Structure 1
Amino acid sequence: MKIARRQTDDGPILAVLAEGNLLVDLEPVTELAVLLGDRGRVHDVADRALARRKMVTRLDEAVLLAPLDPPTFRDFSTFPDHTEGVVKLLDPNATVSPEFWEIPTFYFSNPYAITGPYADVPIAPGCTDFDFELEVGAVVGTAGRDLSVEEAAEHIAGYVVINDFSARDVQFHEMRLRLGPAKGKDTATTLGQFFVTADELLSRASGPSFDLRMAVAVNGETVGEDTLDHMAWSFPALAAYASRGTEIRPGDLLGSGTCRSGCLAELWGRHGRDVRPALRPGDVVTTTVDVLGETSNRIVEAAAVRPIRAWRQA
């Protein structure tokens, strides 16, 4: 099933996609994580809504929000080709480090920055190198702790498209302190219009991943494309690592990290800074992933930078 969340006069509400590109409301549910904590409840609630069809809206007339507000967002790095290209931006001779193959590393991103699939996205304040990142996210269904990879597979409820917007100059500046990325990833992360239940992808299985074409375009021109099964770490592996020594809970979002050629920083690392400009106000970034859907966001002006200074100086 494909679950969307749309804005109404009374606030957000979840809806299931029906034939004919119609959205059928799942009254009175407004938060996906509430359904995910009870295994099988998403399908039960959606089936009842489809049978009753109490409130139906055409998809192209709906104001779509992000399908979920994840309580946490861990963004991993699982595509070696992407990593190889990005590290060349700082060192032309750099290659993928051995640690990439030892642990599925991640950083915590900002759940407050989650943005709808068609919302305007402001450039990060003070940023001159604003970038996109094409990813897929797994959504945790049931809670778990210290899971094996095999166990973790049963805790993944479904998937969403992710575009992780990044302030590259801000990111590289702050990472000189050996922390982060933090503020460089803090402005906007857009999610696709649908949460797609895991069973929808069974026919597209490819090893432990899925044979899904991923593509990103700027102003209608394709900039990069890849397939999801090029990831080196599986989503169950990400969930197992995330659960090590702690809990994963319903609605937690686990990002795949950027696919090959899925961002400007990688292209800059491989081909030089002149290959494509950074994002500017008026640009429209569109991502698409087979079965899962899309995002399409217009870039707008940044907010002004308010100066912040240390009260003690070196």
Structure 2
Amino acid sequence: MRLARWADGADLGEGFVIEDRVVPFPNGLRVAQVLEQGLSAARRLFERVAGDDGVPLDRVRLLAPLVPASIRDFVAFEEHVEGVSAGVEGTSHVAPEWYEAPTFYFTNPHTVLGPGEAVAPPVTQRLDFELELAVVIGGVEGSDGRNLDPASAGAHIFGYTIMNDWSARDLQAREMKVRLGPAKGKDFGMSLGPWIVTADELAPFEDDEGFLDVRAEVRVNDELIGFDLVSNAGWPFPEFVAYASRNSRVVPGDVLGSGTVGNGGCLGELWGRNGALAPPPLAPGDVVRMSIEGIGELVSTVGATVDAPGVPRARPRPRHRTRGL
């Protein structure tokens, strides 16, 4: 099953993509509600509308397939870490701590973009993409999503979508020196789409260890830049979910990005390996086309940069410990 949100002129719709048409959910349900009900309920809804005419897919404009409750983005591909670290540290290096757990950061759910929607980056000299496969969390009866073990975490994976984690690498590099972040180097845009493919559709791609053996590719202006197998991640997806829930909680509508795949899944990795900005950073008008086997294709464009108002530098303070009278 494929779940989507779309615009048909001034009308908005949410439902299933069935062959070459979109079919609304019964009773005006929304993607968020279907995620909360879980996969079994989604199958029953699909059976109710599978024979409906719907609207031709090429007549609508697809939106981001969900409004995320939260977005966690992992860094799970060793090859990506090796390449990026070469550019940042001057030598390829993977910290021993990377191997201990699938580390992630939280990013902005309020700047999510849909298929074909242009990103409006900040002023940057090093605009980059990041090719990722993302998990979408669904509801599981009797579970509140807390402290899951890997065996039970898999049931919380409702489906998958493609993620493009846009990055302003020069801003990100400055922020990371403060030992917190990334922040403004990342939170201006995150593209998701074109739809959510339910977990059962990708089950045939699972290998013996539970990794998804699907091919991911990214092209810029139709030139192939990078490709990898998602099974090259350090952890299978249920372990991402279990770690995210540790002393915390995952809820329906949460999005968990795999982190950037290796072998050119982003320009930053290639810059580190090549010792130069080659291929060049993204520029306005560039078209980034990502495809993942079993999911589909997410196409995005680079819009004009936005020179937002600045913030003053920190003011040195005298560090008084008491107030004067």
Q: TM-score range by the shorter chain?
A: over 0.9
Q: What is the rounded CA distance, in whole Å, between the counterparts of 2:31 and 2:291 in structure 1?
A: 22
Report the Cα offset of residue 199 of structure 1: 0.4
Q: What is the rounded CA distance, in whole Å, between the counterparts of 1:244 and 1:4 in structure 2?
A: 30
Q: What is the rounded CA distance, in whole Å, between the counterparts of 1:81 and 1:194 in structure 2?
A: 28
Q: Which residue of structure 2 aligns with residue 49 of structure 1?
A: 49
Within-5 A mapping of 1:296-307: 296-307=299-310
Q: Which residue of structure 1 aligns with residue 91 of structure 2?
A: 93
Question: Which one of 274, 290, 300 corresponds to residue 287 of structure 1?
Answer: 290
TM-score (norm 2): 0.91
Report the Cα offset of residue 288 of structure 1: 0.3
Is 1:273 aligned with 2:271? no
Is 1:170 aligned with 2:168? no
Report the Cα offset of residue 297 of structure 1: 1.0
Letter in 2 for 1:267: L
- Per mean C-alpha deviation after superposition, the further-off stretch among 29-38 and 301-310 is 29-38
Letter in 1 for 2:50: L
Check conservation: 2:8, 2:59, Cα contact below 8 A: no
Q: What is the rounded CA distance, in whole Å, between the counterparts of 2:9 and 2:287 in structure 1?
A: 28
- Per mean C-alpha deviation after superposition, the further-off stretch among 93-102 and 189-198 is 93-102
Q: What is the rounded CA distance, in whole Å, between the counterparts of 1:46 and 1:149 in structure 2?
A: 28
Q: Deviations 1:37-68 (Å, cap 9, x if unpaired)?
A: 223221211221213x1x61222221100111
Q: Which residue of structure 1 aligns with residue 215 of structure 2?
A: 213
Check conservation: 1:90, 1:269, Cα contact below 8 A: yes
Within-5 A mapping of 1:34-183: 34-39=33-38, 40-51=40-51, 53=52, 56-123=54-121, 125-142=122-139, 143-183=144-184
Q: Which runs of 5+ in 2 are unaligned?
A: 318-325
Q: Deviations 1:276-313 (Å, cap 9, x if unpaired)?
A: 11100010000000111111111111112312104624
Within-5 A mapping of 1:250-265: 250-260=252-262, 261-265=264-268
Check conservation: 1:13, 1:30, Cα contact below 8 A: no
Report the Cα offset of residue 106 of structure 1: 0.3
TM-score (norm 1): 0.95
- Per mean C-alpha deviation after superposition, the further-off stretch among 105-114 and 30-39 is 30-39
Q: What is the rounded CA distance, in whole Å, between the counterparts of 1:149 and 1:73 in structure 2?
A: 20
Report the Cα offset of residue 10 of structure 1: 5.7
Change (3 A) 1:58 1:73: same
Q: What is the rounded CA distance, in whole Å, between the counterparts of 2:99 and 2:315 in structure 1?
A: 42
Q: What is the rounded CA distance, in whole Å, between the counterparts of 1:265 and 1:16 in structure 2?
A: 36
- Per mean C-alpha deviation after superposition, the further-off stretch among 264-273 and 90-99 is 90-99
- Per mean C-alpha deviation after superposition, the further-off stretch among 212-221 and 5-14 is 5-14
Q: Which residue of structure 2 aligns with residue 201 of structure 1?
A: 202
Q: What is the rounded CA distance, in whole Å, between the counterparts of 1:27 and 1:149 in structure 2?
A: 33
Tell me the SS of whatever aligns to 1:239: helix
Q: What is the rounded CA distance, in whole Å, between the counterparts of 2:178 and 2:170 in structure 1?
A: 14
Check conservation: 1:12, 1:30, Cα contact below 8 A: no
Letter in 2 for 1:77: V
Q: What is the rounded CA distance, in whole Å, between the counterparts of 1:293 and 1:108 in structure 2?
A: 25
Q: What is the rounded CA distance, in whole Å, between the counterparts of 1:227 and 1:311 in structure 2?
A: 45
Percent identity, aligned pairs only, is 40
Q: Which residue of structure 1 aligns with residue 322 of structure 2?
A: none
Tell me the SS of whatever aligns to 1:24: strand
Report the Cα offset of residue 174 of structure 1: 0.9
Please identify runs of 4+ aligned residues in structure 1 that moved more than 4 A: none
Check conservation: 2:135, 2:256, Cα contact below 8 A: yes
Q: What is the rounded CA distance, in whole Å, between the counterparts of 2:114 and 2:170 in structure 1?
A: 25
Tell me the SS of whatever aligns to 2:299: strand
Q: What is the rounded CA distance, in whole Å, between the counterparts of 1:27 and 1:300 in structure 2?
A: 37
Q: Which residue of structure 2 aligns with residue 26 of structure 1?
A: 25
Q: What is the rounded CA distance, in whole Å, between the counterparts of 1:31 and 1:179 in structure 2?
A: 36
Check conservation: 1:73, 1:111, Cα contact below 8 A: yes
Q: What is the rounded CA distance, in whole Å, between the counterparts of 1:305 and 1:249 in structure 2?
A: 33
Q: What is the rounded CA distance, in whole Å, between the counterparts of 2:58 and 2:45 in structure 1?
A: 23
Check conservation: 2:4, 2:31, Cα contact below 8 A: no
Tell me the SS of whatever aligns to 2:89: coil
Letter in 2 for 1:195: I
Change (3 A) 1:29 1:182: farther
Letter in 1 for 2:213: D
Q: Which residue of structure 2 aligns with residue 236 of structure 1?
A: 238
Tell me the SS of whatever aligns to 2:116: coil
Check conservation: 2:147, 2:242, Cα contact below 8 A: yes
RMSD: 1.5
Tell me the SS of whatever aligns to 1:194: strand
Q: What is the rounded CA distance, in whole Å, between the counterparts of 1:171 and 1:274 in structure 2?
A: 16
**Count of residues paired in the alignment:** 310
Report the Cα offset of residue 31 of structure 1: 3.3
